[in-house]
Structure 1
Amino acid sequence: MSLSELRFIALNRWLHQIFDSPVFPKLISGDASYRRYFRVQHENISFIVMDSPPELINVTPFINMANAYSEKGIKVPQVIEKNIEDGFLLLSDLGDVELLSVLNEDNVTAYYSQALSLLTKVSLVTQSGGERLPLYDDAFIQLELDIFSNWLIKHHLGIKLDEKTRNMLQIVFSCLIESANTQPKIGMHRDYHSRNLMLQNDELKVIDFQDAVLGPVTYDAVSLLRDCYIRWPDNIVDTLMKRHYEQLKYSALIEGNVTLSTYTRWFDLMGLQRHIKAAGIFARLKYRDNKPAYMADIPLTLEYIRDISARYPEFHSFNMWVSDCVIPAVEARS
């Protein structure tokens, strides 16, 4: 019997103890980690059950962040019952309408404006479980960027990096790290996009927040506006980006003397870092975690990397390498 089957039996046993009657969990999704989610019905009330193998992912950070977000008025799943030892949580059900599923060019500005407004509350969450959130520091960012080189470039594409290319990449990565360091640090969700925002009764609710950190002011905004799973016209993104800039100034999260030009560079370079990381993670999900579906999202992340890096002369060599080497290699493997 497989580990997942054994865990499902244990999960059913735990639920039976809670409800004092049999319930029938139905798998609704796994995510990009080792967690699985089920939906159960009891007396006409719907619940979500998280199955998180404790030796792989402890549920305590999720519980602590759910509490921290809720205290700031951010709508998140309520933790109703918990079994920390076995890695099971019973959660309130936020429905199954991801924001992504309803977005179009007519409503994206309105919905994303709501999502950007929520980021002011997110920024205030700087502690969890009585401890300061981890810092999204140089080592953290470098580790994420290396996922791109190791998993997409070397493992998936089989490209051996010569010394010139390695040096070029390190210069680019150092520039991205420096830009991130220049920005003020706030509470950061770290995966804030249209698949992690649920729409329930026309209200946005937030999921997948357990990896929150203290990080750059533009990270969550660029994660939302330059979504790895969908791309919007530049005029829409630019309008919303400027709205976030004004929001940061109004909330005193950036100094009044920070110009829109400075903010735009922060935003663009933060987006580059995130898309470089994401392209590597999508490849790692296939080869390490046996989740090949995310490979379909790599072309869009590379499009972003190509198009945004083209705006900055200092990334010319990187842009040419991505355009002439990486993208054709990915297309050839498709």
Structure 2
Amino acid sequence: MSAEATPLTIHLADDRATALFGEDLLLALQVGDCIALEGDLGAGKSTLSRALIRAMAGDPELEVPSPTFTLVQNYNLSIRVAHFDLYRLSDPSELDELGLDEALADGICLIEWPDKAGSALPKNHVGITFQFAPDGGRNLTIQAPEAKLARLRRVMDIRRFLEDNGYIGMHRRHLTGDASNRAYESVYPANGTTRLVLMDAPKRPNGPPIRDGKPYSQLVHLAEDVRPFVAIGQALRERGFAAPAVLAQELDAGLLLLEDLGEEGVLDNLGKPIAERYRASAACLAAIHDTPFEREIIIPGGHHHIIPDFDRAAMKFEVELLLDWHLPWKRGGQAVSTAERERYLDIWDHLIDELANADTSIVLRDFHSPNILWRGDREGHDRVGLIDFQDAMIGPAAYDVVSLVQDARVTIERALMDQLMADYLSARARISSFDEAAFLKSWAIMSAQRACKLNGLWVRLRDRDAKPGYMRHLPRTLWHLAVAFEHPVLAPLRNWCIEAGIELPESPA
């Protein structure tokens, strides 16, 4: 255990507070964590353990017997939890038979009476010591390596944020995380009323300068804190679209308490698109693109957010992922030649020039299945719940249509893709200034731009970030590129890809 890490101290007034802390503690844990619980009988160790296990199970009535006589009780939940009580352990060597190492390999361990484990206790464990307090509650002292304490401090900061805003005694459960530094919690009031959603998004740390003295996030205009989310959500709601209301905020800390738009999405139980919901989403998107948005948005507190442009630099930087990751992977590690790179980027300069007169609007950027919620009890565009729009830009409206009909993670069969395009074009045609031919050209260019980015990104996630699972999307996004190449404006890029040896499938399978 790190000697430099300053221990945390917490006062818990009663059993209820102890149980809530057990729920919060779970949110700070990761697979492989070992929690060592020390203290006298009745100090609250079992109360905390029981609450943590029930929170993991999502069952407040789950039977959680004491492992006093069995020594270990295993729970095969979404993450395995092993609850040890070593009071009757006669020798630390018995921990091998109880499966401590195996439990830590793929789960979390709670250990009461950890002193019995001797040197078998993991050195990087989280130690929690319970002591009775004069007021009848208990005081906890928590020691752990700094990285683990930092996670716990964040969890405690969120509890304080909720209580400071009047949300006392809320039950919290992990909801989801995404590829960024954001995480989400489900927050349930103690009186059992409607669920809320907590966004935990600390300010994005700037990475090293990559080009022109700017880090990646600034080059491609990614939100660096929660202010853009608040601003874009406010602008969408003001125009009648279903973005979650912000119920409480602490902008500098990156904490937002949000209205819950529900959990139902646009996919069926097999992960297949539901045509009705996709068609409603296309109609909603057309309405967004027909609605003017001011570039500058003022949010409560006086912060001004300027929606950035999806500019040439950002588009070109993203398509370079194909050069830097996809082609070297395809060629067994061989880098792209200088001549190839120059020709590719010159082609993209000409394609971006073709966008000069493209229909532009706010671009939500990731308008696809993970970020669309279905609210079947509503009517019109209010049925389509919008989330994850903090990276919005002003750019070609076609980009969001590409995101929807060429979903990177879900196969949209060609027949449905064509139907969605027809629906969108029909809705936009009600505006006399809408030029369908120009839109289809910009759609093809933005389809190719997004596909080139993604076909490099999947490889980067595998090779740089050790996330090989994303490679399963590669056949689909290569097919998307083939579909884009059906437009004659893409002929130069299609020829370049053929010469570069990029193989394009005829279907997404």
Of structures 1 and 2, the larger Rg is shown by 2
Give, in angstroms, the shift of residue 183 of structure 1: 0.6
1:17 aligns with 2:159: no
Q: Do the aligned residues in 1 keep the contact of 2:262 with 2:375 (CA within 8 Å)?
A: yes
Describe the superposition over 1:194-222 as per-residue Cα deviations: whole angstroms up to 9, x where unpaired.
22110123521111111111111211112
Larger deviation, residues 200-209 vs 84-93? 200-209
| In the alignment, structure 1 residue 166 sits paired with structure 2 residue 341 | yes
Structure 1 or 2: larger helix share?
1
Contact 1:120 1:251 in 2 (8 A): no
- Secondary structure, counterpart of 1:100 in structure 2: coil
RMSD: 2.8
Instruction: Please list, as runs of the form range in 1=range in 2, the aligned pairs for 1:172-321 lying within 5 A after superposition.
Output: 172-202=347-377, 203-252=383-432, 254=434, 258-260=435-437, 262-286=438-462, 291-309=467-485, 312=488, 313-321=491-499
1:6 corresponds to 2:153: yes
SS in 2 for 1:250: coil
Higher RCO (CA < 8 A, seq sep 6+): 1
Aligned match for 1:71, one of 238, 247, 264: 238
2:282 to 92, 116, 121: 116
Deviations 1:255-282 (A, max 9, x none): xxx354x433321221111111223334
Distance 1:287-1:65 versus aligned 2 partners, 3 A rule = farther
In structure 1, C-alpha distance between the alignment counterparts of 2:251 and 2:463, rounded to whole Å: 29
Question: What percentage of aligned pairs have identical amino acids?
Answer: 25
Tell me by how many angstroms 1:188 deviates.
1.5
* Matched residue type, 1:80: L
1:47 aligns with 2:196: yes
TM-score (norm 1): 0.84
Taking structure 1 as reference, are residues 118 and 167 closer, same or farther at Cα in structure 2, changes over 3 Å only? same
Pairs aligned (count): 321
Q: Could you report, residue by residue, the CA deviation over 1:122-142 in whole angstroms, capped at 9, with x for unpaired residues?
A: 233343524552111211211
Whole-Å separation in 2 of the counterparts to 1:302 and 1:287: 18
Contact kept, 8 Å, 2:321 with 2:453, in 1: the verdict is: yes
2:272 and 2:410 in contact (8 A); partners too: no
Confirm or deny that 1:144 pairs with 2:313. Answer: no
Give the drift of 1:39. Answer: 0.6
Aligned to 1:38: 185
CA gap of 1:295–1:58, structure 2 versus 1, over 3 A, is same
SS in 2 for 1:53: coil
The C-alpha deviation readout for 1:66-125, integer Å capped at 9, x for no partner, is 1110000010111000011211111111222221346757x41x3222112212442333
Letter in 2 for 1:53: P
Letter in 1 for 2:388: D
Q: CA shift at 1:253, angstroms? A: 5.5
Q: Which moved more, 1:274-283 or 1:200-209?
A: 274-283
Shift of 1:34: 0.8
Q: Look up the equivalent residue of 1:82 and give its one-letter code.
A: Q
The letter of the residue matching 1:40 is: V
Q: Deviations over 1:300-330 (max 9, x none)?
A: 21222234326543334233256x34679xx
